[in-house]
């Protein structure tokens, strides 16, 4: 069976751990707990192209991605860069962060995800898309579960294919 490593990265407090918990354990916790270091989980994803064992690494949030140890990215097949749709500070440096991530792992697929969709209107999301200089792959809500399975399933299909 194919196995791939995927990293959840982004600023602190954007909901990386909440996305991790929603996807791996179908749970959501309202209480904020800072991730220290790395939390690793595994889930089997079934696709039309075959099954994929996804090893998800939830790494501690940093304002600047160059503060994350580069060793975390070794062997990574995919990166999910998460930002908080309610906090502009979490996506102001998105271009620089993505350039840095691409420089340390050139072959990795990167998805940009706006989390906490449940806290804003569709009109706010549309305005946000105009503000952000790069394409956002998906908006999710770890709290409601909206688009969380879709995010990981679509990523798995891309990595298997």
Secondary structure, 3-state, 107-136: CCEEEEEEECHHHCCHHHHHHHHHHCCCCC
Task: Please give the average per-residue pLDDT across 124-148, as a whole number.
Answer: 92
**The pLDDT of residue 63:** 65
Contacts of 78 (CB under 8 A, 6+ apart): 4, 5, 6, 7, 108, 109, 110, 111, 155, 158, 159
Between 3.40.50.300, 2.30.110.10, 3.40.50.12280, 3.90.420.10, what CATH number should domain 2-160 receive?
3.40.50.300
CA atoms within 13 A on the CB side of 147: 12
Rounded Cα–Cα distance for residues 91 and 96 (Å)? 10
pLDDT digits (tens, 9 = 90+) for 14-58: 999 999 999 999 999 888 777 777 899 999 999 999 999 999 999
What is the dihedral sign for C-alpha 87, 80, 152, 128? Answer: positive
Residue 120: phi and psi, rounded to 5, are: -135, 165
Residue 72: phi and psi, rounded to 5, are: -60, -30
Q: What pTM value is reported for the model?
A: 0.93
């Amino acid at each position: 069976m194919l196995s791939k490593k995927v990293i959840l990265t982004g600023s602190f407090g954007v909901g990386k751990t909440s996305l991790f918990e929603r996807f791996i354990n179908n749970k959501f916790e309202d209480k904020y707990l800072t991730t220290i270091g790395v939390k690793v989980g595994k889930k089997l994803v079934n696709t039309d192209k075959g099954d994929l064992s996804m090893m998800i690494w939830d790494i501690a949030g940093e304002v600047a991605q160059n503060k994350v140890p580069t060793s975390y990215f070794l062997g990574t097949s995919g990166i999910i860069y998460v930002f908080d749709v309610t906090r502009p500070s979490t996506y102001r440096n998105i271009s620089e962060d993505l350039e840095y991530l691409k420089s340390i792992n050139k072959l990795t697929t990167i998805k940009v995800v706006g989390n906490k969709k449940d806290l804003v209107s569709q009109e706010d999301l549309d305005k946000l898309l105009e503000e952000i200089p790069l394409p956002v792959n998906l908006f999710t809500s770890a709290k409601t579960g909206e688009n969380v399975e879709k995010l990981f399933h679509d990523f798995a299909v891309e990595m298997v294919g």
